[in-house]
Structure 1
Amino acid sequence: MRRLLNTLYVTTPEAYLACEGENVLVKVDDQIKLRIPIHNLEGIITFGYSGASPALIKLCCERGVAFSFLSSNGYFLGRVTGKTHGNVLLRRSQYRWSDNEEITLRLSKRFVVAKILNSRVCLQRALRDHRDKIETYELELTVDNLKRLAKEVENVTDIDVLRGIEGEAAKQYFKCFDMMILNQKDEFSFHERIRRPPTDKVNALLSFLYTILSHDVEAALESVGLDPQVGFLHSDRPGRSSLALDLMEEFRAYFVDRMVLSLINRKQINGKGFIEKESGAVIMNDDTKKTVLTEWQNRKRDNITHPYLDEKIPVGLLPYAQALLLARHIRGDLDDYPPFFWK
C-alpha cells in the first residue's frame, strides 16, 4: 500500500506558486510564506487566481503531483497532470468494459448499493448517538426504506431503472439530513440538495467538500492507470470525470456528509463564516474555508481497517485502495469489484 502524503491547499488569492530545486514555494508580495518539499505532496489545490511558474508545473508533472485549479467558490476549473500511468492494456480493457451493457450494469450496481448502504449507516449512527435529540420515527422509517431500495438493486436489469433507484434513495436520505443537524439550527437549516449554485450554508459545505473529494478520487484513479473520464454508472460527457463520480458514490456519506454534520454540531464553524452573493449563491469566507480544509486533512490521517483488504490504512488512502481494487478487477486479478462499505 502506498504512503499517505499531504495535499497543499492555497486559499490566498494573491499567492504565487513557484519552485526552488525540489521545494514548492508559496509567495505573497514576493515574500516566501511557505516552503515544502515536493516529495511530501501528492496534490496541490488552489482557490481563486493563484499564479504558478512553468517550472513548478513541470516539477509537479515529473513527480506525479496533481495540480488542480478551483474558483474561489470551490468550482473545478482545470487540472494539470503528468504522463499517464499504468499499462495501456488496462485502459483499453476499461474502454471495452464501459461499452458492454452487462458489465456496466453489474459495476453500477456495486457503486449504487454501497452509496445507499453507507447513507443508511450515517442515519443509523445518528439514531445510535443522538436518539434523545432527534425525531426517531422518520429516521427509522428511512433506514428501513434504504435497506429495501438496496435489495431492489439486486434484481435490476436496466441501467436507467438503477439510476432511478439511486435518485430515490438520495431523495429519502437528504429528506432526513436536517434532522441530524443538532446545533446552530437557526444558521444551518437544510431543506433539499441544491448544487449549482448552493443557496444555503449546508449545501455550500456539501458542494465544496464533494469537489475536494473528487480531486482525491481522480488522482487515485490516475495513479493506478485508470481513465477517470470513462465510467459506468455516470455516462460519458465531455469534461466530466465519470469514473471518478462513480467511485465517489461510495464515499459521499462517509467522507463528506459525516464531516459537514460534525463541523456544524461541534460548532467548529458558525453562520458568520458564510457570504451570500447577489445571485443568491452562498459561499464560505477564507477563515471558514481554512477551518474546513484543516479538518479534512486531519480526517484523512485517521486510521481505518479496510473491510476487504483487512489491513489498517489511513482514511485518506481509501480512494486509492478502491481504485486499486477496481483496476485489479478490470485486469482479471479479482473476480468481482468489492465496494467500500462503512461499518
Structure 2
Amino acid sequence: MKKLLNTLYVTSAGAYLRRDGETVAIEIEGVVRARMPCHLLSQIVLFGETTMSRDMMVLAGDAGISVAWLTFSGKLAARIEGPQTGNVLLRRAQHRATASEATALTIASQIVAAKVANQRALLRRHLRDYPDSPGSESVDSAQRRLADAARLALEAPDLETLRGHEGEAAHAYWKVFGALVRNPDPAFAFGGRNRRPPRDAVNAVLSFLYALAALDARAACESHGLDPQMGFLHRDRPGRMSLALDLMEELRAPLCDRVCLSLVNRRQLRGADFERQDTGAVLLSDAGRKTVLTAWQERKRTELRHAWIDERLPLGLVLYVQAQALARHLRGDLDAYPAWLWT
C-alpha cells in the first residue's frame, strides 16, 4: 500500500484555520466549513487573505506539517515548519557534491536531459493525437531539435554549456507551445513564455502550477533529509530553493504543462476566470484557482509505471521517489542519479 502525502489547499478569502483536537478546523465567517485530521496531511497551503491560529501552527510543527502562504498569483510569501530533521551526514555529502562541478555536472546533465526528453514527449503526444492540426510541421521540427538537445545535454563538458543547451531547448519548446493550445478563444492566445508577472492567461496558469510543483519538490527534498536550497543545476541564491527547482524540472511538462493544456483545451477555464491588473499582470481569479487546483490534484493521482523502481505509482509521488533516489546516490548506494522519463 502506498500513501500519497496530502496537501490541504485553502483558497477562500477570510478563511481561518484553528486547532480542534488533532484536527484542522476551517472557519469562514465564524462557521466551520470543513475539518481535516492532521495525520492525513503533510502540507498546508494558504492563498491570499487566510489566517491560522497560534495553536494550529504549534500542532502543524509538532505533526511535521509545513505551512506555506502564497499570494493570489501563486508566489511564495512565507513558510513555517517545525524542528529541522534529516541526516547531517547526508547534508554534508550533498554539500560536497554541489561544491564539485564535476559531480554537479553528472547529476545536472541527467536532470536536463530528462526535462528536455519529457518536453519532447508532450510535443510528440500532440502530433500523435492531432496530426493535422495547425502548426504541426513546426511542432515536429521542434521535437527533433529537442531530441538533439537532450543528447547534447548528456555530453556537455561543463555546467555553463549544459545551461546553454537547456536554454536552446526551452526556446524551441516555447516557440511552438502555442500550437498545442487548441482553444480558439482569444483570451488564451499564447505568444511565448513570460512571468514576473505573467501577462496572459496561459502564462498565469503555468506560473501558478510551477509554484505548486516547487512546494511539492521542497517537501520531497525535506522528507528525505536533503537541503532544498543546495542545488546542482540552479545557481545558489539567497532564498532560492535550488534543489527543489532542480527536481521539479523533470515534472514540468508531464505534470504542470499537461494540466494547463487540458484545462484550456477542454474549456474548463474561461476568460472570466482571470483578472487583468493595471500593471499588465494577468492573475487567476478565486474561481479559476479552485478549478486549477482540482485538476492539479486529479493529475497527481494518475498512475503510471516508474522505470527505476519498476512499479506503478501516482504521478504525485514521483518527486518523492526522485528525492529518495538522489539521497541514495549522494550516500553512495547508487552509482548515478536515475532521472525520470515520461513514457
Q: Which residues of 2 match residues 1-343 of structure 1 at below 5 A? A: 3-343=3-343
Which runs of structure 1 show a deviation greater than 4 angstroms over 4 or more consecutive aligned residues? none
Give the partner amino acid of 1:266: R
Q: SS state of the match for residue 114, structure 1?
A: helix
Count of matched residue positions in the alignment of Structure 1 and Structure 2: 343
Q: SS state of the match for residue 334, structure 1?
A: coil
* TM-score normalised over the length of structure 2: 0.98
Q: SS state of the match for residue 95, structure 1?
A: helix
Q: SS state of the match for residue 24, structure 1?
A: strand
Residue deviations 1:56-82 (CA, integer Å, cap 9, x gap): 111111111121100122111111112
> How far off is 1:6 after superposition?
2.3
Decide which moves more: 22-31 or 129-138.
129-138
Q: SS state of the match for residue 251, structure 1?
A: helix
> How far off is 1:307 after superposition?
1.6
In 2: Cα distance, 1:51 partner to 1:182 partner:
39
In 2: Cα distance, 1:52 partner to 1:136 partner:
49
Residue deviations 1:114-159 (CA, integer Å, cap 9, x gap): 1110000000000000112232211111111111111112321121
Contact 2:45 2:68 in 1 (8 A): yes
In 1: Cα distance, 2:223 partner to 2:238 partner:
21
In 2: Cα distance, 1:216 partner to 1:60 partner:
17
Q: SS state of the match for residue 92, structure 2?
A: helix
In 2: Cα distance, 1:290 partner to 1:56 partner:
24
In 1: Cα distance, 2:205 partner to 2:67 partner:
22
Give the partner amino acid of 2:12: T
In structure 2, runs of 5+ residues without a counterpart are none
Q: Give the alignment's Cα RMSD to 1 decimal.
A: 1.1
In 1: Cα distance, 2:10 partner to 2:43 partner:
11
Contact 1:134 1:180 in 2 (8 A): no
In 2: Cα distance, 1:59 partner to 1:302 partner:
31
Give the partner amino acid of 1:325: A
Give the partner amino acid of 1:277: Q
In 2: Cα distance, 1:5 partner to 1:329 partner:
23
Q: SS state of the match for residue 148, structure 1?
A: helix
Give the partner amino acid of 1:293: L
In 2: Cα distance, 1:33 partner to 1:67 partner:
20
Contact 1:303 1:312 in 2 (8 A): yes
In structure 1, runs of 5+ residues without a counterpart are none
> How far off is 1:4 after superposition?
0.5
> How far off is 1:2 after superposition?
5.2
Residue deviations 1:214-262 (CA, integer Å, cap 9, x gap): 0101001100000000001001100000000111110100100011000
Decide which moves more: 74-83 or 328-337.
74-83
Residue deviations 1:186-217 (CA, integer Å, cap 9, x gap): 22011111110000000000000000010101
In 1: Cα distance, 2:41 partner to 2:155 partner:
44
